Structure formats: structure tokens, C-alpha cells
Amino acid sequence: MLVTGQRAELRDVGELLEDLAPDLEIAAMAQRIGRRLAIRRRPRADRPERGSGRLASVPYRYRSDDIDLDRTIEVLTERPVPEDTDIIVRERMRSRRDVVLVVDVSGSMRGEKVRIAAATVAALSADLSAHGSRLALVAFWSDAALLKPLGAHVPASRLLDQLLRIPARGLTNVQFALAVAHAELHRSSARRRTAVLLTDAVHNAGPDPRLIARRFPELHVLLETDGEHDTSLGADIARLGRGRLAPVATHRDVAPAVNRLLG
């Protein structure tokens, strides 16, 4: 890993995007992925995770055996022939989660790299919006740009279009990108705050990213392995960020990988 003293800058998105229309074939492919791809989560275990969220009374869904007697009696008085779902139980409900996706756009955003980026944005957007959670997006090279803050409402198709229109850059400053993501998460009031770093981890500009990784409550790494990559650095960043490393070689690997990281 090359560590340099190069200074980085948070760039405005409007000043970055190329005026020329993106490659139509690549844009169409990215839009197809955005429409079709979503994360399919596995069912949770029979017993909900203790402390995973607020306690709520809900209809029985074959998971919890903690019966809310008062609410159940109210329902049964109106239904002389009850069904299983007429029993009210107490379950821990999933708490809101804010996620900052940090996408490496250094080098050439072509071929499988753009497919992987498109799949990641699409999968996270679909899953988080379905659960009332929020997504922010940071694109980076030697500098970085905040394409979508946590509080903004931007369709996944527009985020993909912006990623495709950022000119190719050569150097990769992982540390500065993580600093931008950490600042965005710091403004969040969500109980669960997570960052997902999509990169080949070939860091060649700026300080060592391991130092900033320690400051995250949860930082996962999606490691692009379709070309040159640094598994050792990616694993260190995930470990220090109290997260996990998931290699992705093609866009088909993205959904199951993100499912393992956030499921």
C-alpha cells in the first residue's frame, strides 16, 4: 500500500458530471439491474434477536412464543373460531438503519466494474427503502463527492446515472472517502449506523485508511476481485471497522454478499 501526503477535496457533484451523455448500452444495462435486482433476505430464526429493536405486539408469525395475553383476549372475544394469526405476541422489531455506501470510481467505470456498482446501488436502495431506512452515497477517487446525503430523496436510477457520468480518475484515496462517509453517519440519529465500502482496496493516495476505519460503529467492505485488488487491506479495514469482508467478482455476487453483510 502506498501512503502519501496528497491532500484531498470534497467536490461538488454538479461540477464533476460530464456534459456528454453516458454510453447508452452501459446506461441501459445499469437501469435493468436497478429495476430487477433486490436483496432477498433469509427468514430470521424462530426466536427474535434480543435487543435488536423495540418491543411491539404483533400477530403471531411462527417466530415468537411471548404471548401478549391482554391483546390476544381482546381479539379472541370477537372471533369464536380463531386462527393462528389471531394470537398476539411480543417481538423485537427491526430498528431503523442508516447506511452510507462508498463507491470507488477511480480508474475506468466500464465493464464489470460498472455492473457491480449498479448492482450495489440498486440492491441497497431497494432493501433499505422497503424497511424505512435511509441510504447515502459517496463516490471517490483521489477526491470524493457526496452524491446523496442521508436526508435527500434521490431515485436509484438518478444515482446510477450520476455514477456513470463521473469522469474516470486514476488515483484511489480510501482514507478521505471514509472520512466523508464517517462525517455523514455522524449526523445520523439512527440506532444502527453502517458504512459499506465498495472498492478494490488498491489505495495509492492519501494517509493510511486503517486509522479512520477504527472510528466507525460498523464498516463492511465489498471487495472487487475482477481485477487488481488488495485483499489484505480490505480485510484490515473491515476488521478494524467491526464489519466483514465480502469478495465480489461479478454483479451477480453483489446481492448475496450484501445480504450476508447486513442480514
Determine the pLDDT at residue 45: 40
Which grid cell is 151?
436526508
Residue carrying C-alpha cell 426466536 = 47
**Helices (DSSP H) in the chain: which residue ranges?**
13-16, 24-36, 69-76, 111-130, 156-165, 174-186, 210-213, 231-240, 254-262
Q: Is the pLDDT of residue 46 over 50?
A: no
Q: Is the pLDDT of residue 77 over 70?
A: yes
- Reported as a single tens digit per residue, the pLDDT across 131-162 is 668 999 999 999 999 999 998 888 877 888 88
**pLDDT tier for residue 27 given thresholds of 50, 70 and 90:** low
- CATH number of this structure's domain 10-41+95-262: 3.40.50.410
- Reported as a single tens digit per residue, the pLDDT across 90-144 is 776 556 789 999 999 987 667 788 889 888 988 888 767 656 689 999 999 999 9
Residue among 210, 237, 208 nearest 221 (CA) = 237
- Counting every residue written for the chain, the total comes to 263
In whole angstroms, give the CA distance from residue 32 to residue 152: 23
In whole angstroms, give the CA distance from residue 239 to residue 197: 13
Residue carrying C-alpha cell 472510528 = 215
According to CATH, where is 3.40.50.410 located in the chain? 10-41+95-262
For residue 20, give the DSSP letter: S
In whole angstroms, give the CA distance from residue 41 to residue 125: 14
106 near 172, Cβ under 8 Å?
Answer: yes
Residues 6+ apart with CB under 8 A from 19: none
Residue among 190, 243, 198 nearest 223 (CA) = 198
Between strands 55-59 and 88-92, the pairing is antiparallel
Q: Is the pLDDT of residue 41 over 80?
A: no
Residue among 27, 187, 171 nearest 100 (CA) = 187
